[in-house]
């Protein structure tokens, strides 16, 4: 295990007999390759809010963008703690991943330029962004703030034979 890799723990209560903790590389590949993620935030009045979005896994963090007036952006202002999920919509095969962490706004324009390139590489030219004033600018000059979630804890739910529940903890 490298210094950047999390500690893995299998929860035997929710895993098949004889199962082993899932490898972090499998979860990281899923986070990198996923086309869609689900973001869970908390409204200022305490009610949950969940929305699908696109994003990029880059250098150990999951990045997403949102307009500053959108519900999720307003929620993040009050409470930056989030959960992001991705995986399969199947019971008997695949891997689901749940990322817990804090959303931190990214405004460094060099980083944003690399992320804009990563977005377009992953999703195509329809998701082209220019970078200005510490944010993405879309085709209609719509501002999108970018957030990074460095995982604190990630859960992996392996489905099928064997079923596994792995928790990866980050330093």
Domain range list for the chain: 19-169
pLDDT greater than 70 at residue 3: no
| pLDDT digit string, tens, across residues 144-158 | 999 999 999 999 999
What's the pTM? Answer: 0.95
CATH-assigned architecture of domain 19-169 = Roll (2.30)
Q: What is the pLDDT of residue 140?
A: 72
Query: pLDDT confidence of 1, banded at 50, 70, 90?
Result: very low
| pLDDT digit string, tens, across residues 42-79 | 999 999 999 999 999 999 999 999 999 999 999 999 99
SS3 per residue for the chain: CCCCCCEEEECHHHCCCCCCCCCHHHHHHHHHHCCCEEEEEECCCCCEEEEEECCEEECCEEEEEECCCCHHHHHHHHCCEEEEEECCCCCCCEEEEEEEEEEEEECCHHHHHHHHHHHHHHHCHHHCCEEECCEEECCCCCEEEEEEEEEEEEEEEEECCCCEEEEEECC
């Amino acid at each position: 295990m490298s210094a950047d890799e999390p500690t893995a723990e299998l929860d035997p209560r929710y895993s098949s007999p004889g199962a082993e903790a899932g490898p972090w590389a499998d979860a990281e590949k899923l986070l990198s390759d996923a086309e869609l993620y689900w973001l869970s935030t908390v409204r200022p009045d305490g009610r949950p809010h969940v929305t699908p979005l696109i994003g990029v896994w880059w250098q150990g963090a999951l990045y997403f963008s949102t307009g500053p007036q959108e519900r999720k952006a307003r929620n993040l202002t009050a409470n930056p703690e989030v959960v992001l999920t991705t995986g399969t919509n199947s019971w008997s095969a695949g891997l689901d991943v749940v990322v817990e962490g804090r959303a931190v706004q990214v405004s460094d324009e060099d980083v944003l330029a690399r992320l804009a390139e990563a977005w377009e590489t992953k999703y195509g030219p329809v998701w082209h962004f220019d970078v200005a004033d510490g944010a993405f600018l879309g085709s209609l000059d719509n501002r999108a703030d970018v957030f990074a979630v460095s995982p604190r804890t990630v859960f992996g739910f392996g489905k099928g034979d064997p079923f596994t529940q792995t928790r990866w903890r980050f330093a």
